[in-house]
Amino acid sequence: MKRTAWVLALVFLVFSVCYTAYADGGPSVETGKKLFYGTSLGTNGKSCATCHKTTENIKKDTAKYPGDPALKNVVNGCITENMNGKPLPDDSTEMNSLIMYMRSVK
């Protein structure tokens, strides 16, 4: 009986930690879409969608980089060179949200 209580407590703890991480603004497709179409990543009024206008463009450009590290480098190149912004840390919520959104486009 004690073992069952400990297992249930552990399951509850893991669930609570995971839920809190996402409730506190973890990466999401929705956040990635807002960043992709918004101008907050740069200083010159451009967005990712300024150059990558259609879903076909997004799918084609994303398919060129099947690995996330390579795609993250390209994303940061666009942000710094085309949008006059600061690069995003690879492990940031913003970067992971952008990657999630780009990979979700069908």
Give tens-digit pLDDT for 40-87: 999 999 999 999 999 999 999 899 999 999 999 999 999 999 999 999
Is 15 inside a domain boundary?
A: no
Say if CB 56 and CB 45 are below 8 A apart.
no
pTM of structure: 0.75
Is 93 inside a domain boundary?
A: yes
Q: Please state the rounded mean pLDDT for residues 10-37.
A: 70
Comparing C-alpha atoms, which of 106, 86, 79, 93 is closest to residue 32?
93
Is 6 inside a domain boundary?
A: no
31-42: per-residue pLDDT in tens? Answer: 999 999 999 999
Is 3 inside a domain boundary?
A: no
Say if CB 62 and CB 100 are below 8 A apart.
no
Predicted confidence at residue 14, as pLDDT, reads 47
Q: Please state the rounded mean pLDDT for residues 76-101.
A: 97
Domain range for 73 is 27-104
Is 40 inside a domain boundary?
A: yes
Q: How many domains does the chain have?
A: 1
Is 18 inside a domain boundary?
A: no
| DSSP for residue 24 | T
CATH of the domain at 47: 1.10.760.10
Comparing C-alpha atoms, which of 52, 55, 106, 46 is closest to residue 74?
52
Residue 40, phi-psi category: left (phi > 0), alpha (psi -120 to 50), beta (remainder): alpha
Is 75 inside a domain boundary?
A: yes
